[in-house]
Structure formats: structure tokens, C-alpha cells
Chain A
Amino acid sequence: MFDSYDIIVVGGGHAGCEAAAAAAKLGKKVLLITMNLATIGQMSCNPAMGGIAKGQILREIDALGGMSGIIADQSMIQFRMLNLSKGPAMWSPRTQNDRLLFASYWKKHLESIQNINFWQETVGEILIENNQVIGVKTLRGITIKSKAVILTNGTFLNGIIHIGTHQTTGGRNGENNSRGITEQLNSLGFKSGRMKTGTPPRIDARSIDYSVMEEQKGDQTITGFSFQKHTSQQITQQKSCYITYTNTKVHQLLKDNLAYSPLYNGTIQSTGPRYCPSIEDKIIRFKDKERHQIFVEPEGWNTIETYINGFSTSLPEKIQYQALHLVRGFENVKFLKPGYAIEYDYFYPTQLYPSLETKNIQHLFFAGQINGTTGYEEAACQGLIAGINAVQKINQISPLILSRSQAYIGVLIDDLVHKGTEEPYRMFTSRAEFRMLLRQDNADLRLTKIGYTIGLAEKSRLSGVEKKLKETQYLKETLKKTKIMINNEIPQEKKSIHDLLKRPGMHLEQFKTGQYRDIIKNYTEEILQQTEIQIKYEAYIKKEWTRAKQYDSLAKQNIPITIDYDQIKALSNEGKEKLKKIHPKTIGQANSISGVSASDIAILAIYIKKLTNHS
């Protein structure tokens, strides 16, 4: 019934879609197996893409030749560039999206790729021979052969949904969970943990009184995520989001009913993210806070479904309903779906190589929430990298590993495989050492060439980047040569526009009119912006480059494979345990392990130096 495939992708979420698309575009024959073909590309949580740090990841995915940025652009109902009041390293694109459109664009795209096949079933077992994966077996007993398998199971592995004291097995509300894979992998020596996440109730837009809430409109200018321009970026209308707040009455009601919360009555033991607490968590941990923000997000162009960001809860439906009614603007609210908490299995990502291939079983790759991450963007970029690297593996080419100074994707995967994570891992810009380098505006300059070399980014993209580089360079030179006199400034001497731009408050925009307008009139907004950023922040960017180089050279210092950490008694116990467990290959990797302190690194460096001196 089934041919032999190059790559089987298990799961059709953000990671699975990217993995399947990348692998197929790189010429491999791909089978995407999902429990439900109708839910490919689902946005299980809020209907938004990007945001701070996540927007940068989407731009990186796009630069490499991934699809999430384009799909998000096509399905957007609102665009905002966040953090514009700060420097360019912080600018972060975000869209609100039409949930159904998003999924259907993904499905349409995957269906447009000839060498992707689909199969609706649950995978219950991985087939392994000589420590190498050779295919999968479905719950109904069908065996399908492949050269590589990418697992992107999301929250489905042994998923349990909690609403109040009520528990059901499931991977998402109303969908089955997946059993067997965790147990099989455990028996093969994989270590797994349990995580928890939650989602808020969905409500009926027609029952909301928007007039008492703050409106949050989209930006006038829509740049989108993709460096390739799409017609859908030109949406003429945008949907607004709204902001309201909880109050002390809401808090009291929640407090009075904590006994029914599976988070507080001991039913849920697993770790939830500290940065995405449920509303009951918020009122307990931050008692002094009199109100918490609720962000009301429309789920699409033509739907009444509304997402209430900030009100994630697993209390019984009745309490959720009563509490919502106490919120300003929700007095007459109608309930569509309750919020819930979900517990699921993940595998310690330290069991992976930076290629996302497992250390135990060859040709087996993990991507997305199975690795302990949270977020669409985090999942999608892992899917993309796993898809690329599964192909590289089959082709016996060295894997694509992005460094921490190259991309947020590099930071994410480096953190996961070397530090591991005990709570759902979300990207923050503060996780990046080289934030000034990893900007959304230069993701193409950083990564498109790599995407092109691999075979994912089209030639036209590369030419676009080359053109951008050339024009930016040319404009910079012109601005250096153009010298002008500033009135009433002492000393009276001519300064180049280039140097003037470094001053606070000076922008190329100001030269668009007046005698110098000809210099810049032929450049696109993108080139002007890029040039200005490079000039204005030159000193900082240079400094980070120097640091990045230093970091890379230290990072490359090898740790002998024969090293016996027990011999180094000065190491902290925690550091020693982590080093023994993870066995980093270089000082750089050791340095990125949480629990390994700077002193540990210093001691390790001394020890290695002495070892080499002695031998």
C-alpha cells in the first residue's frame, strides 16, 4: 500500500509542516502522517504570529527558505511592529491572523508540493534496525518504511486535558492523544519528562462590549515577515485588538474556588512556564497586583470566535464563566470553548545533536514541543532545521548548525541541546548574547545565502540580498562623501551626512526634502532603513562582532574525550554532574550549560591547559 519514503514526518503542526515542506523541496520523497488531515497547520493557542524575539525567528525562517513567514503574511488580519520606540535590534514584527486561513494556506502549500504524500493515522511505534530508524508502524498495524523519521508530536504524547476536576485524555481540546511512542522510546533509553501548558477560554465576539475597552489598531505601514513581497501584505483593512483588565472581584472569585483548580489541588504536578502563568497562578503569586491585562484577539475576518489572551485557566467551566462576567466589557459574555490545562510528554533535548538528530537512534529527528519548547515560531524553526538536516543526513552531508551569533534559531537549538530545559522554552531576546547582530531587518543578510546554498531559498532571493547589500554599501559611501554645514554650530566645519546620522534624532527621513533629496530618492524604504541602522549603530555592531569572534574562538577550544570530571574536584557538584551528563565537545558548549558556572569553566580551562602541557 505504501512505497518506501525518504522521510516520514509525524505530526502536521508548525514543526511538521516546515519539516515536510523543506525536505520535499530539497528533493526528498516525504510522507506526512497526522491524526487528522483537517487540522494541519492549526494555531492551537492564540491567533498571532511573531512578536518580540519570535518575529525575528520568523524572519530567519523566511530568509532560509521556510514558509511560516509567508503563510503568516497571507493570513494576517493585523500587523504591528513592536518595540519601535527602542533600537532596531528590538523591533519585532507581529501579526494577528485568521486562524482558519492560516491553516488552509499551509495545507494548500503542502498540497502544492508534488513529492509530499499524506496519511491520516496515529503512529504508535518507530521501526529501528541496528540503532537506525527504518520507518514507523501505525496504531492499526501498518508498517511504512523510510530512511529518516522526524517526530513533531506537539502536546499529543500521552496528553491529558484538565478542566477543573475533570480530566480527559487528548492532545488538544476535542482531539485524541497519542500513546506508545513515549513508552517505546523510554525502553530504548530515551529520558522523558512531563510539561504543562494552558489556554484561555474562547468567547463570542457578539457578546463583548468593546466600547469600554482600549482599542489597539494595526500599524499604518505593513512590512510583514517575508522578505519576498506578497500581494496579501497589501491588506486594506485591519482588525483591531482590545484591552481590558481583571479586577479584585474577579480575583476574589478565583481565590474562593482554588480548590477546584488542578494546578492547586495537586492534580497537576508537572512544570508550567513561569512566563505564561494561568490567571489563578497570577493572583496567587502576585497578590498585590490589583488587575491583570486581558488582550482580546479576533480569531479571523469572518468569525465570532475571540481569544482572550491573559486568562489561561484550568478552573471548572462554571467558575471560568462567572469570573469572565465580572470583567469590564464581558458582562454579557457568551462562552464558546472553556480554557484548559494540558499535560504532555517531552524528551530531554540534551539527547539531541545540534542537528536535532537523536544521539541514541540514527536518522531519527525531533522538532517542536517534543523538545520542551513552546510557541509556533520556536516549533516551526526546529521543523525547518530538522527537515533540512534529515535530508543532509540521507545525502551524507554535514548538518546545518547555526551559531549563537548567526541566528536566534542558533541560540534556541544551542540552548536546547546543551543546556536542556525544565519548563516550556520560549525565546526571549535576552537569551541572545549578540542581540545587536540578530535583527529582524538583516535576517536575509545573515541567512539567505545559507538557505540558497542548501537549495531551499530561490536564486531570486539571493539576488535580492546581493542587491540590498550593494545598494546599502553604495549609499553609505555616498553619505560619507556628502558633506554639509550645520548652521550655528561651533566649530563651523563641514560634516558628512554619514557622521551626522550618528547623532540622536537624526534620520535619513529628514533628507527626503531639501537640497540632498536626490541622493536618496532612488532607494527603497528597506535600503534607507538598512543604511541608517548600519550607520547609526556602527560602533555597537562592531563591538558585538568582536565579541562574537572571541566567543567563537573560545567556544572552539576542544575538551579531550577522555576527560574524567571526577578528577577535577574543584568543580561545583552541579557543574560536574551536568558536564558528565552532557559531555560537551568544546569549552563553548560547556559554557552554555546551565549549572556550569564561570568558575567551573575557568577551572576546566586550567585543567585542560595543564593536561596538554603535561602530555
Chain B
Amino acid sequence: MPLVTQKDTIIALSTPPGQSAIALIRLSGKSALSIVNHFFKTKDLFLCASHTVHFGTLLDDHQAVLDEVVVTLFRAPTSFTKEDVVEISCHGAYFIIHRILQIMIRQGARMAQPGEFTQRAFFNGQLDLTQAEAVADLIAARSATAHKTAMHHLKGGLSKSVRLLKDKIMHFAALLELSLDFAEEDVPVAAKEDLKKLVQDILDTIQPMLESFTLGNAIKHGIPMAIVGQPNAGKSTLLNTLLQEERALVSSIPGTTRDFIEGTLMIEGVHFQLIDTAGLHHTEDMVESMGIQKTYEIIKKSHLILYIFDISSTTAQQIEKKLSQIKSFNIPTLVIANKIDRVTPAVVQDFCHAFRCVPIAAQLGKNIQQLKKTILEQIQLAKISSIDTIITNERHYESLLRSKEAMEKVLQGIQNELSNELLVLDIRTVLEHLGTLVGEVTTEDVLGHIFAKFCIGK
């Protein structure tokens, strides 16, 4: 039997399940149009052009009005899956969504497997492997920044960066092969220094892409942020205050909840994971018990530490001591003075001046907006947007890492005056790894490069 039964028309709810204002149901396949047309009574969809939007009424089997909907048509092959695609925007009530799915399935549609739309797009030649993976990431993307990165990959941003890299490496391979296969010819010999420079250049291109992986992951899964402080400092209150505001906007996605993550938070489209260290130690001071490996590891993974203290019951010495302990993590730390409603403005000013802290009253929700703004500033979002290619996918990372390792061997080889055919062994490894991202470099490609660039032949 064929790989994907292309005759099937698949259907799925494309918006997250649960109560919402609007829901989107999507169909793809040969019968997508006829199935929807069967229930859509306002006009005949078969007479409508691709990429058009139609408002109308959806009737059920008994000719009763189900919902007022907006139907968008994408005809094959100019749709995402290259098949006929119909998208129905309906009201988000549970009943309506399930009723629509039900009648459509009865009419011949089949519930789509997870990722099946993307899979169809992929197998119908719409996407290359990197693009398909970016779509998978896009589906999982939970925030505006993640969305931007995923969109960048989808447009071929990663492919383009890697392709540029591949060209550089191919030129390098050509220089080496030239010296091997055409040693008898009057061809330029690449100087050791030039080769070294080229390798260094390649390494310099790979390195920031690799570094962007940690950042990329943070964007995708949320930037981990740990809240530390004494039990009575108000950690839980702060956590709840932050989350209460956002709970309506952020829905937790099943399967992603991890140990110690109390919740996810969105600030201006940037996604954060809040790590509540309070759950680790109820009795002792968090910072003092950092020696415990597990706690230590967890805090170490965060990109930002929020250190909160009770301004009404903490001395400057105590704060200094904690801060010097926290400093050992070498992670940006934001100091928060809580319960400012219990002290005089002068005291607040003193502390803020001494520790550059953000004054809040978590219980009262005071200064929470300012805190959020400061959090955003702290993680230096500017840095994120300036990097062109952010690696978010494990496979991409792996390939680049292996390429880098092989290139370092090449560099070492050049320094040890290794013969070129041995250097080529590692270069071939690099090309294999990059090839898994954007298509392989064949011997023909390398030879073609040689013949185009150098005058060969007697």
C-alpha cells in the first residue's frame, strides 16, 4: 500500500483545544471542498476561486443552523499541503467544534494524525527537511519570539546560512583536491596560511550558530527564570501575582510540564518558565542550602535569577551575604525588594540605591508592571533579534557540532602539516553533516568547482 493514502481527506482542529472565542478547523484532501460544500449553504464553494474567504451559515444533517462561519479556500496545488485545503473559522464553543468535526467525519473526512498536515506538505514536495522541522517547531512555538525564529527557518533562513557555509567548505575541499588530483598541473597551490584562514573563517561562521542553540532552545521552550529568597520573603505571592495576570493568556501545553516549573509566563510575547525553588526546601534558607546538588543544578539552568527579600525584616548584611552566594552562579540576577508597603519611602530608597533593586508589594500587585519590564530588559532581547540564524532543533545542532569538531581537526591537521588527502577525510565528514541539512555535496560538485575555477588539463 502507498505510504500516505493521498485519497483520504483529513480534518483537525487547528487551534488549541478548550474554550476560546474562535476556533479553526482545517481540512485537506481531494474531498475537502465537497465535504464542506455539503454543509455550507450560503454559496457553492466549487464556483469560488482559490485564496478566497466566504462568510456563511453551516447547516447540520437536519438542516438546522449549526453556526455562522468564515470559510477560507486554498485550492491544490497552491495550498500548504498542495492539496485542496478548506479552513473553517467557527465559534469556539466545545459543542460547535465537536459537532462540526462529527458531521464532516460522517461525510467522509478522517481525523488527522498529529503532524499529518505537515507530513503531507513534506511528501508532496512543498517543504525540505529543515523546513518541515521548522513547521513542527512552529506548531510547538509558544510565543512571539519563537514564532519569529520558526518563521525565519520556514523561509529558508537556516538553509541559506548553512548553504553559504557549505559553499565556503566546498571551496576549501576543492583547493585540497586540486593539490591531490592535479599535482602535475600548473595550478596554484594553496598556502598553509590561506587554508588556516579559510578554516578559521568557517569556524567563526559555525560558532555563533551553535551558540544560538541555547538561546534558541530558551526561546522555544521559554526562558527559565528562578525565584530565590527566604521562605517568608514572598516568593509564592510574587509567583501567583505574576501568574494570575497571565493565566488567562497562557495555557499549559500537556507533556511539557517539568519538575519545579511552577508555571509559564508571557511578557510582551517573550515566554518564560518560572522555576519555584520554594518547593525544594521549605524549612531552610534556599541560598544557604545551595550545596545540595539538585537545587544547584536547577538554578544553574536558569537564564535569570529573581532574588526576592522582605524589606521589612532583612538587614543589608543579610542581603549582601546572599548576593555573594548567588554571584557564584554567574547568572544575571534581579534583586527585588518586597513588602515596600510596610516601610517608609526613605527606607525603600536606601535599599534601592544600595542594591539596585526593584521595589514591589506583591500582595498588593504594586509595581508588578515595572518588574516585568525590568525582567525583559535583563535578558537582553536585543541580542536575540540581532542573530540571524537561531538554531532551535536538536538535529541541526548535532550536525553543526559535528562539523565544527571535524573542522577543528582540520585546523589541527594543517598545523601538524598533515597531508592533504588526510585533511580531506575530515572535510568529507563536515560535508556529510552539513549535507544532512541542505543536501549533499557530491564529488561531481567539488570537481565542477575545480574545473570552473582552475585551468586544468594538458
**Which stretch (A102-110, A229-237, A510-518, A597-605) binds chain B?**
A597-605
B183 at the interface (CB under 8 A from A): yes
Q: Known A570-B125, A598-B435; judge A90-B180 contact (CB<8 A).
A: yes
A504 at the interface (CB under 8 A from B): yes
- Residues of chain B with a CB closer than 8 A to A46's CB: 458
CA distance A564 to B127 in the complex (A): 20
Q: Are A570 and B124 in contact (CB under 8 A)?
A: yes
Q: Known A275-B457, A277-B457; judge A436-B421 contact (CB<8 A).
A: yes
Q: Are B180 and A52 in contact (CB under 8 A)?
A: yes
Most B CB contacts (10 A, CB to CB) among A83, A276, A289, A572 go to: A83
What is the 8 Å Cβ interface bit string for chain B, positions 384-418, against chain A (1 contact, 0 not)? 00000000000000000000000000000000110
Whole-angstrom distance from the CB of B443 to the nearest CB of chain A?
A: 5
Give the residue of B128, B186, B440, B451 whose beta carbon is less than 8 angstroms from that of A293.
B186
Q: Are A569 and B419 in contact (CB under 8 A)?
A: no
Q: Across the two chains, which residue of chain B brings its CB closest to A613?
A: B3
**Which stretch (A111-119, A363-371, A426-434) binds chain B?**
A426-434
What is the 8 Å Cβ interface bit string for chain A, positions 154-198, against chain B (1 contact, 0 not)? 000000000000000000000000000000000000000000000
- Residues of chain A with a CB closer than 8 A to B456's CB: 274-277
Whole-angstrom distance from the CB of A382 to the nearest CB of chain B?
A: 20
- Residues of chain B with a CB closer than 8 A to A312's CB: 458
Give the residue of A52, A285, A602, A611 whose beta carbon is less than 8 angstroms from that of B455.
A285
CA distance A86 to B180 in the complex (A): 8
Q: Are A292 and B186 in contact (CB under 8 A)?
A: yes
B133 at the interface (CB under 8 A from A): no
Q: Are B123 and A570 in contact (CB under 8 A)?
A: yes
Q: Known A429-B180, A597-B439; judge A87-B422 contact (CB<8 A).
A: yes
Q: Are A430 and B3 in contact (CB under 8 A)?
A: no
Q: Are B180 and A602 in contact (CB under 8 A)?
A: no
Q: Are A571 and B185 in contact (CB under 8 A)?
A: no
Q: Are A309 and B458 in contact (CB under 8 A)?
A: yes
A615 at the interface (CB under 8 A from B): yes
A282 at the interface (CB under 8 A from B): yes
Q: Known A594-B442, A594-B444; judge A83-B183 contact (CB<8 A).
A: yes
Whole-angstrom distance from the CB of A282 to the nearest CB of chain B?
A: 5
Q: Are B425 and A275 in contact (CB under 8 A)?
A: no
Q: Are A435 and B421 in contact (CB under 8 A)?
A: yes
B206 at the interface (CB under 8 A from A): no
Q: Across the two chains, which residue of chain A brings its CB closest to B127?
A: A570
Whole-angstrom distance from the CB of A141 to the nearest CB of chain B?
A: 43
Can you give 7 A-B contacts (C-beta < 8 A)? A52-B182, A87-B419, A90-B183, A274-B448, A286-B455, A292-B455, A597-B439
Q: Known A569-B124, A570-B123, A599-B129; judge A89-B421 contact (CB<8 A).
A: yes
Q: Are A430 and B186 in contact (CB under 8 A)?
A: no
Give the residue of A275, A568, A599, A614 whose beta carbon is less than 8 angstroms from that of B128.
A599
Q: Which 9 A-B pairs have the closest CB atoms?
A: A598-B440, A293-B186, A274-B451, A87-B419, A286-B455, A309-B458, A276-B457, A310-B458, A569-B124
Give the residue of A428, A567, A603, A610 whose beta carbon is less than 8 angstroms from that of B181.
A428
Report the interface size for chain B: residues with CB under 8 A from the other chain. Answer: 43
Q: Are B421 and A295 in contact (CB under 8 A)?
A: no
CA distance A282 to B424 in the complex (A): 28
- Residues of chain A with a CB closer than 8 A to B444's CB: 594
CA distance A286 to B454 in the complex (A): 8
Given known contacts A86-B420, A87-B421, what 4 new A-B pairs fall within 8 Å (CB)?
A51-B184, A276-B458, A568-B3, A570-B124
Q: Known A428-B447, A567-B3, A569-B124; judge A295-B181 contact (CB<8 A).
A: no
B2 at the interface (CB under 8 A from A): yes
- Residues of chain A with a CB closer than 8 A to B424's CB: 430, 435
Size bracket, chain A contacts: 35 or more
CB-CB contacts below 8 Å: A429-452 with B: 429-431, 433, 435-436
B142 at the interface (CB under 8 A from A): no
Q: Across the two chains, which residue of chain A brings its CB closest to B2?
A: A567
CA distance A89 to B422 in the complex (A): 9
Q: Are A282 and B421 in contact (CB under 8 A)?
A: no
Q: Are A52 and B184 in contact (CB under 8 A)?
A: yes
Q: Known A570-B124, A598-B439; judge A293-B457 contact (CB<8 A).
A: no
Interface residues of A (CB under 8 A from B): 46, 51-53, 82-83, 86-87, 89-90, 245, 273-277, 282, 285-286, 289, 291-293, 295, 309-310, 312, 428-431, 433, 435-436, 504, 540, 543-544, 564, 567-572, 594, 597-599, 602-603, 607, 610-611, 614-615
CA distance A603 to B132 in the complex (A): 12
Q: Are A282 and B425 in contact (CB under 8 A)?
A: no
B235 at the interface (CB under 8 A from A): no
Q: Are B3 and A53 in contact (CB under 8 A)?
A: no
- Residues of chain A with a CB closer than 8 A to B185's CB: 293
B82 at the interface (CB under 8 A from A): yes
Q: Are A569 and B184 in contact (CB under 8 A)?
A: no
CA distance A245 to B186 in the complex (A): 10
Q: Are A429 and B181 in contact (CB under 8 A)?
A: yes
- Residues of chain B with a CB closer than 8 A to A435's CB: 421, 424
B355 at the interface (CB under 8 A from A): no
Q: Across the two chains, which residue of chain B brings its CB closest to A297?
A: B458
Q: Across the two chains, which residue of chain A brings its CB closest to B179?
A: A86
- Residues of chain B with a CB closer than 8 A to A607's CB: 3
- Residues of chain B with a CB closer than 8 A to A90's CB: 180, 183, 419, 421
Q: Are B1 and A615 in contact (CB under 8 A)?
A: yes
Q: Are B440 and A597 in contact (CB under 8 A)?
A: yes
Q: Across the two chains, which residue of chain B brings its CB closest to A597?
A: B439
- Residues of chain B with a CB closer than 8 A to A291's CB: 186
Whole-angstrom distance from the CB of B108 to the nearest CB of chain A?
A: 22
Q: Are B123 and A429 in contact (CB under 8 A)?
A: no
- Residues of chain B with a CB closer than 8 A to A51's CB: 184
B24 at the interface (CB under 8 A from A): no
Whole-angstrom distance from the CB of A414 to the nearest CB of chain B?
A: 12
B177 at the interface (CB under 8 A from A): yes
- Residues of chain A with a CB closer than 8 A to B419's CB: 86-87, 90
Most A CB contacts (10 A, CB to CB) among B428, B443, B458 go to: B458
Q: Are B421 and A86 in contact (CB under 8 A)?
A: yes
CA distance A555 to B2 in the complex (A): 23
B122 at the interface (CB under 8 A from A): yes
CA distance A607 to B128 in the complex (A): 15
Q: Across the two chains, which residue of chain A brings its CB closest to B184?
A: A82
Give the residue of B183, B442, B457, B458 whose beta carbon is less than 8 angstroms from that of A82.
B183
Q: Known A276-B458, A504-B417; judge A611-B447 contact (CB<8 A).
A: no
Q: Are A569 and B123 in contact (CB under 8 A)?
A: yes
Whole-angstrom distance from the CB of B424 to the nearest CB of chain A?
A: 8
B436 at the interface (CB under 8 A from A): yes
- Residues of chain A with a CB closer than 8 A to B446's CB: 430
Q: Are A295 and B458 in contact (CB under 8 A)?
A: yes
CA distance A282 to B440 in the complex (A): 30
- Residues of chain A with a CB closer than 8 A to B436's CB: 598, 602
CB-CB contacts below 8 Å: B313-327 with A: none
